[in-house]
Amino acid sequence: MKIVILGAGNLAWHLAPFLRKNGHEIVAVYSRTKFSAVALANKVKAIPIDKIEDIPSNADIYIVALQDKAVRSVLKSLKFIPNCIAHTSGSVSISVFPKQFKNTGVFYPLQTFSKTRKVNLNEVPFLLESSNLKTKKILSSLANSISTNVHFITSDKRKKIHLAAVFANNFVNHLYSIASEILKESKLPFDLLKPLILETAGKILEDSPEKMQTGPARRNDQEIIKSHLQLLKGQKNRKAIYSLLNASIIDKFKVKAK
Query: Considering the rule CB under 6 A, would residue 48 count as an interface residue with ligand NAP?
Result: no
Interacting span for ligand NAP (CB under 6 A) from 26-34, 127-135, 199-207, 236-244: 26-34
Single residue of 3, 18, 63, 90 touching ligand NAP by CB under 6 A: 90
Query: Considering the rule CB under 6 A, would residue 158 count as an interface residue with ligand NAP?
Result: no
Query: Considering the rule CB under 6 A, would residue 86 count as an interface residue with ligand NAP?
Result: no
Query: Considering the rule CB under 6 A, would residue 123 count as an interface residue with ligand NAP?
Result: no
Query: Considering the rule CB under 6 A, would residue 126 count as an interface residue with ligand NAP?
Result: no
Query: Considering the rule CB under 6 A, would residue 32 count as an interface residue with ligand NAP?
Result: yes
State which residue, 67 or 248, has the beta carbon closest to ligand NAP: 67
**One-letter-per-residue 3-state SS of the chain:** CEEEEECCCHHHHHHHHHHHHCCCEEEEEECCCHHHHHHHHHHHCCEEECCHHHCCCCCCEEEECCCHHHHHHHHHHCCCCCCCEEECCCCCCHHHCCCCCCCEEEEEECCCCCCCCCCCHHHCCEEEEECCHHHHHHHHHHHHCCCCCEEECCHHHHHHHHHHHHHHHHHHHHHHHHHHHHHHHCCCCHHHHHHHHHHHHHHHHHCCHHHHCCCHHHHCCHHHHHHHHHHCCCCHHHHHHHHHHHHHHHHHHCCCCC
Distance CA 169, CA 174 (A): 9
State which residue, 64 or 217, has the beta carbon closest to ligand NAP: 64
Single residue of 5, 24, 36, 85 touching ligand NAP by CB under 6 A: 36
Query: Considering the rule CB under 6 A, would residue 223 count as an interface residue with ligand NAP?
Result: no
Query: Considering the rule CB under 6 A, would residue 125 count as an interface residue with ligand NAP?
Result: no
Single residue of 62, 101, 113, 126 touching ligand NAP by CB under 6 A: 113
Nearest distance in Å: CB 191, ligand NAP: 25
Binding site for ligand NAP (CB under 6 A): 7-12, 31-33, 36, 65-68, 70, 74, 88-90, 108-109, 112-113
